[in-house]
Amino acid sequence: MTRRTSIPRLSRTSWPPRVVIRKAAGLRTMEAALLRSGLGPVAGVDEAGRGACAGPLVVAACVLGERALSSLADIDDSKKLTERTREALYPKVKRYATAWSIVSFPAEEIDRIGIHVANIEGMRRAIAGLGVTPGYVLTDGFKVPGLCAPSLPVIGGDASAACIAAASVLAKVHRDRIMREMDTELPGYGFSVHKGYSTKMHARMLSDLGPSREHRMTYANVAAATRADGLDDVAAVMGRMDRDAARAR
């Protein structure tokens, strides 16, 4: 009599985890490895304005060739660079990149479809808008389904891959310029200072002036500003947001 051995059933928790590339030894290590494997061109994609409560979400994609990598030796995570350095790098990235693309989602559309959907769709559009078809895509932080090429999410990507760092500079500078223009169209909110992010100064302006057409009305602190006791509500919401952000770090 042959004894049958039961095979344990696989569950979702039995599957291997999704592959995520973490920080590499240098900003050029990742692209170089992919290019050596014949998987180029390598595109990086990143966004600016996801955490803001006013203004657009801007997403950029960028492909850097060997010439660009050597010409952009000072490229880094845009958050680590000064505004002056980012502004100086912006035209250089456009000049030396093999291809680049920038797309934007206004506040009204973010309210309609949600910030995460806008972010994913923006990354898809930015990659589709490149003048070359990438062989591989590196995204900052999370997986983006529906791309035209294989892709990997990179934790801390704008500090780990040059193409993502270049995309982050494009997105950040482009959005900052929009916010400075917005400050002249809608004076009093301080958009050129806080760039639409949830700061104490922004909370005061929201309380004094109420939300503008460029605010994301579905965001809790913006909704709080529409109530009669706006300043107290906004301050409370801002405090909770600061505590949540601290716990997330």
Q: Are the C-beta atoms of residues 102 and 174 closer than 8 Å to each other?
A: yes
pLDDT digits (tens, 9 = 90+) for 203-217: 999 999 999 999 999
Tens digit of each residue's pLDDT (9 = 90 or more) over 132-158: 999 999 998 888 998 989 998 887 766
Q: Is residue 140 annotated as involved in ligand binding?
A: yes
Burial of 150 (C-beta count, 10 Å sphere; 0-12/13-18/19+): exposed
Weakest-pLDDT range from 2-16, 28-42, 72-86: 2-16
The CA-atom distances, in angstroms, between 74 and each of 4, 71, 101, 171, 221 are: 64, 8, 21, 17, 37
Q: What is the per-residue pLDDT across 57-76, written as a single tens digit (0 to 9) for each?
A: 999 999 987 766 666 767 76
Q: pTM (2 decimals)?
A: 0.79
Per-domain residue ranges for the chain?
19-181, 187-248
Any known ligand binding at 46? Answer: yes
Question: Known binder of ligand: residue 183?
Answer: no
Q: Are strands 42-48 and 136-140 parallel, antiparallel or unpaired?
A: parallel
- Going by CATH, does the domain composed of 19-181 fall within 3.30.420.10? yes
